[in-house]
Structure 1
């Protein structure tokens, strides 16, 4: 544990541990001896050490677990230390980095131990309310209440390769798919933002803390157009330009706009949409959050991930850039079962309720409500090779019972060209 702290944090100063009168709350036989042996074996007085130091260029509060001390379990004294550390972080105004390695609540303390999860949850809530970032690193193992509070409750969740991660510990799981209980599976299911090799962890944490504390509050400028510079003559021309195979997509725009960036991943509900990019980027030393569609039909998990990103950015006072590019929301049976409507409503609500400025650029297709959910009212721009429409020309023709050869004429009637959108006050301008 101490080696890990030293590798990521310079000038670490441990907080004074609070005095505790709790010793053996339920009279577990031999508990005092177990604690004494754990202290002799690890050199630690409890399963967690807390202090302050510098990670990269950012002062941070660091919470680190010692798994060798009774399995890194959470007991009453652990709760005392964590509560004091989070309180001190709010006093200092520093982000909190939790290096988690725990088997869960300490059995030898019974419900006195389990109730520490409520204390931890309260401290997380207070720290979020204070607008301070929370970053967790999932080490091996991260299970039980440690995963369900400090681990999964962070804003950004990083994990070491192969780490055991799951609410159920290895000795209490039902037989079956044990591959679900690791960092890679949690990443694939949208519960972890990134798998980080141990050697790269110091730099990764430094990058994240720099991003999460680096906003200046100014509205983002829309990116410059990377594709066609000529406006389309007809609505059908606009549709064809937006669907052109060689047109630049979100990754090209994000790479051109930011000096460097870090993605978040997943909706924290079991889903990842590969057609949506969300995260934080640095532009001229200033942090801007982004949520971008990549040209595919957006899944419910994509809308939920974007909503998660917007809410986090709003809490941390980080302005947001969104890029619109989708033929529409996924509308198959699987999408309906996964909550297409509620997830779109969630993103509409997140953007509508954001107190930070949100800037939108339509870079390709703007297909109906699935595109509009990503757009900022009053701060939307368009590129010359984009369109925005109440529905696709093909869908409009089908609804009106028109023949396929009438689709181009229908596109013209929809007034979906970039210049139409400006005239209709849907867009502020063409970049």
Structure 2
């Protein structure tokens, strides 16, 4: 198979070669040379049809992807560079309409150079049309997964691609709003690759061809498997310690390198899971893991802090996850564990306050059930932003404080060696939190 897959080869990659029921194509009533009477455009289209065997730059239909039936929109790059014209818009609109009528998720297999030059503004206007269809499908509570192939640029990336709920990419695919012929001559080529976009937090994963069908199938099963589920039950504690006698002991245990971390809790809780990556604003935070997991026949979304200071990108990714779960009706579990939000100058420049505020808002307005387990350090608003009101639990080897004891001592103008005494006074032990009404319970 060539590096650039055809539309039907891409369909076969995600369906495993299963049946693909092509949707009836809307009638193309455009003039032979298009709305601009572009000389030779009709001949170009006829040649493209002869070479590719396709009537337009997209092929749309329904198929089973794993155990989930979905609507597939697959671009044919060999047809005038997979460009979007009026007939392309007709087909994409019909595909989204069918998805909403039948309550099916949408999988877009994208390979496009953008809008079709030979149709001028009539082609560019298709981006508004496509964006509207995607938004209507989003409002209907149906998930959208994009598979970005080589190349994906222009409006196709800025609508069906970057606008999807989950964005996967094939290795080394060219991805970017600016196509290769319109970029600045000194532009870093890595920024326009799948790997570069992953590093920048613009896509969720780079997936090898042989794993694409299974990966998309798992995502569709997860994104459609949690509607109307009850609140996620809090995980059981993985540590084997009694309740701490003092505040300073609680802090010491929570900071112990031997304490179970978020990864262990996720592995114990879910039978399998998939993660989203990045804040879609150019940042990622390896200390904040977000995704969807399967447990006892149901899907739950999760946000898990991994014990490091949480970056603004981590909070923005968490807010993105919570809002997606809320729209799809999937309950959310948060595992909170951080000494606090990152407080260096770079974090301030990256909008720490606004990012934390956005998480507070996402949690406050979520309509799905929220569950939180405090599994380690609980420093300040950096933890509270991700804590479920009235449904936050704690393990015995955790603490929750208005701020880290050392910082509290500094605020109170105490000597650094008084941090332990300050910890004892802050009421941060799990049993203190329960008595104060800050948590619902201590998990066994």
Note whether the superposition's TM-score is higher than 0.5: yes
The unaligned stretches of length 5 or more in structure 2 are 1-6
Q: 1:209 aligns with which of 215, 220, 224?
A: 220
Residue of structure 2 equivalent to 1:22:
30
- What is the deviation of 1:22? 2.1
Q: 1:295 aligns with which of 290, 307, 324?
A: 307
- What is the deviation of 1:284? 1.3
Equivalent pair of 2:229/2:298 in contact (CA under 8 Å): no
Within 1, Cα distance between the matches of 2:303 and 2:415? 37
Within 2, Cα distance between the matches of 1:160 and 1:219? 35
- What is the deviation of 1:227? 1.2
Within 2, Cα distance between the matches of 1:344 and 1:211? 27
- What is the deviation of 1:2? 1.4
Residue of structure 2 equivalent to 1:396:
408
Residue of structure 1 equivalent to 2:3:
none
Q: 2:151 aligns with which of 141, 156, 161?
A: 141
Q: 1:183 aligns with which of 194, 210, 232?
A: 194
What does residue range 308-347 of structure 1 map to in structure 2 within 5 Å? 308-347=320-359
Match status 1:74 vs 2:84: yes
Q: 2:375 aligns with which of 349, 359, 363?
A: 363
TM-score of the two chains, using structure 1 as the length reference: 0.99
- What is the deviation of 1:5? 1.2
Within 2, Cα distance between the matches of 1:3 and 1:149? 23
Within 2, Cα distance between the matches of 1:287 and 1:136? 20
- What is the deviation of 1:27? 1.1
The unaligned stretches of length 5 or more in structure 1 are none
Q: 1:275 aligns with which of 266, 287, 290?
A: 287
Within 1, Cα distance between the matches of 2:435 and 2:102? 50
TM-score of the two chains, using structure 2 as the length reference: 0.96
Counterpart secondary structure, 2:377 = strand
Residue of structure 2 equivalent to 1:101:
111
Counterpart secondary structure, 1:67 = coil
- 1:324-371 deviation per Cα after TM superposition (whole angstroms, max 9, x unaligned): 100000011100000000000000000000000010000000000011
Aligned alpha-carbon RMSD (Å): 0.7
Match status 1:131 vs 2:141: yes
Match status 1:229 vs 2:241: yes
- What is the deviation of 1:3? 2.5
Within 1, Cα distance between the matches of 2:178 and 2:319? 28
Match status 1:64 vs 2:70: no
Residue of structure 2 equivalent to 1:198:
209
- What is the deviation of 1:7? 3.4
Match status 1:8 vs 2:14: yes
Equivalent pair of 2:13/2:210 in contact (CA under 8 Å): no
Aligned length: 431
Residue of structure 2 equivalent to 1:257:
269
Q: Which runs of 4+ in 1 moved over 6 A?
A: none
Within 1, Cα distance between the matches of 2:379 and 2:442? 18
Within 2, Cα distance between the matches of 1:424 and 1:264? 35
- What is the deviation of 1:122? 0.2
Residue of structure 2 equivalent to 1:413:
425
Within 1, Cα distance between the matches of 2:234 and 2:322? 17
Residue of structure 2 equivalent to 1:55:
65
Counterpart secondary structure, 1:104 = coil
What does residue range 81-96 of structure 1 map to in structure 2 within 5 Å? 81-96=91-106
Within 2, Cα distance between the matches of 1:403 and 1:141? 59
